[in-house]
Structure 1
Amino acid sequence: MREPYEVLGVARNASQDDIKRAFRRLAKKLHPDANTSDPKAQDKFAELNTAHEILSDPEARGKYDRGEIDGEGKPKFQGYPGGGAGFGGAGFGQGGPGGFRRTGPNGETIFESFHFDDDSAARRGRQGANSGFEDVFSDLFGRFRSGGGRASSEAAPKGGDIEIVVPVPLERVVEGGPVKVALPGGSTVEIKVPAGVSEGHRLRLKGKGEASPFGGAPGDAYVVVHYATHPQFRVDGVDLRLDLAVPLQDAVLGGKLRVPTLGGSVDLTIPAWTQNGRTFRLRGKGMPNTHGGHGDLLATARIALPDDRDPELEELMRKRRKAAE
């Protein structure tokens, strides 16, 4: 697992705005929908989301910078003297499957508060060298037990949280409304996204995450909003970009064209002698911004020849070519 700063391509002193911009740029580049031929696309996108989740949360970022969690957001074991993994077991206390870290009444880790006194040394002599460790595990897991050895749902740890990236159509982003979310188990739920929701926004579905292996409450599912690819518009920050087909006669003589927007078509006046590549700005027809307004729609003229061959137009072009020679 690479470190989050490397995944996002930002410096360790990067601002929250830098982190947000890097995530939005890479999310478009690495999204599985845009990399269907890459078998590792899903893993790369998941790594990006994990890095963003850590660095966009000041508390989690601080824990990572202090070495309290790793690049996956899992706790690192720090209580054993010397800073090693402790007790010869790779992964013990590392936050992996079954990993944990327990604190004593004064906030110290269990390995700091546990010690062998004379009595415990005597017990080791009678019961074997691992007796003291067995006492530790018995105390740790005893509070999770109820009748018949089954885990108590009141005390057992909850299941893991999951993250689901959901493509949201741009029209739904502007208007807000229901979006269906497919859960890992095969079921679907319908959520309502707010109007003007930003890309990368997270919505919590309580209890829709992984089941607890100890019989506790299930984890939560976090729905991450991703702007779905649109057949006409390209998102550029809070602006939208559009290639606008301009008939040759309108480019030469001028005219009016109907231009599509997310809120319906509008009229645009095309001046005479409009060059190919000229961009027209339709103010307020873009994506919602953080100030309650909207960005702009940037329509770039693309000169379009007639669908059918026009002999008169061809003859005119021959005359102009000959005149220019």
Structure 2
Amino acid sequence: MFGGGGPGRAGYSQGGFEDLLGGMFGSGRFGTPSGGYRGFGGPTPGADITATTTLDFLTAIHGDTVTLQLPGGKATKVKIPAGVKDGQKIKLRGKGQPSPDGGEPGDLVLTVSVRPHPVFERDGLNLRVDVPVTFSEAALGATIEVPTLDGDPVRLRVAPGTPSGRVLRVKGRGVATAKSTGDLLATVHIVVPSHLSGEAKKKLEEFAALLPAENPRDELIAKARG
């Protein structure tokens, strides 16, 4: 859970506290410098502690207060702000190692890891979701239900002739932070049946015969030729 800091810093590892300054100043039980070092006359600041925590997708979106267990049995509470991103760092001043000679304590630098959601994907403050629609819904138009992060689906209108890949926007149903709120972006994916009855196949062939004699790949082939 805990990793080391940079040069001149100390960090926690799972097996205990490793003092990166131990070779210079000597170390105490958990690597706390046993002797004070005042440099140019000022007190020595305490070392920073680096830590990581893994959050569920919903917890990262809505925010929460989590408890971190430090070596030696010490626990500290950390407030996770709403909308925190995967890989984001949170600095808590004064939550690090105490100074060996009365200076300011170090900081706790927390790196947040967010578990992926099975349905939604984050895109800035927006949430993205893939929504399957049938061929007839896309061709004729339909009103469909789209899931939201809070669980209650919303109803969206799919216009007649909607192609696969079109994005439908639901305002204000994305990630909400203190500064702004994103949208829910629903990407339409047309699905086709894997099996057709004899009658359905016959009707589909009759439908295809009524369509204009156009090749939807003509433009693609022309662009490829340059």
Query: For this structure pair, what is the TM-score category when the shorter chain's length is used for normalisation?
Result: 0.5 to 0.7
Instruction: Say whether 1:316 aligns with 2:203.
Output: yes
Whose relative contact order is higher, 1 or 2, with alpha carbons under 8 Å and at least 6 apart?
2
User: Alpha carbons of 1:270 and 1:180: their partners in 2 closer, same or farther (altered >3 Å)?
Assistant: farther
Higher strand share: 2
Q: Which residue pairs with 1:74 in the alignment? A: 8
Percent of aligned positions that are identical: 32
User: Alpha carbons of 1:178 and 1:96: their partners in 2 closer, same or farther (altered >3 Å)?
Assistant: closer
User: Alpha carbons of 1:310 and 1:196: their partners in 2 closer, same or farther (altered >3 Å)?
Assistant: same
Q: Which string of whole-angstrom CA distances, capped at 9 and with x for unpartnered residues, describes residues 255-307 of structure 1?
A: 2222112233211111122110111111111112452x301111110112347
Tell me the SS of whatever aligns to 2:23.
coil
User: Alpha carbons of 1:164 and 1:306: their partners in 2 closer, same or farther (altered >3 Å)?
Assistant: farther
Higher helix share: 1
TM-score (norm 2): 0.61
Q: How does 1:1-325 map to 2 (within 5 A)?
A: 72-74=6-8, 96-99=21-24, 102-105=38-41, 158=46, 160-179=47-66, 181=68, 183=70, 191-197=78-84, 200-204=88-92, 221-264=108-151, 265-289=153-177, 291=179, 293-306=180-193, 309-321=196-208
Counterpart Cα distance in 1 of 2:70 and 2:202: 62
Letter in 1 for 2:8: K
Please say which structure displays the higher CA radius of gyration: 1
Measure how far apart 1:174 and its partner are: 3.4
Where structure 2 has 5 or more consecutive residues not aligned to the other structure, the ranges are: 10-19, 26-36, 214-226
User: Alpha carbons of 1:219 and 1:201: their partners in 2 closer, same or farther (altered >3 Å)?
Assistant: closer
Letter in 1 for 2:22: P
Measure how far apart 1:238 and its partner are: 1.4
- Quote the RMSD (CA, aligned, Å): 4.2
* Contact 1:205–1:223 under 8 Å retained in 2: no
User: Alpha carbons of 1:307 and 1:164: their partners in 2 closer, same or farther (altered >3 Å)?
Assistant: farther
Where structure 1 has 5 or more consecutive residues not aligned to the other structure, the ranges are: 1-41, 51-71, 76-94, 108-154
Instruction: Say how many residue pairs are matched.
Output: 187
Letter in 2 for 1:281: R
Counterpart Cα distance in 2 of 1:262 and 1:253: 28
Letter in 1 for 2:23: G
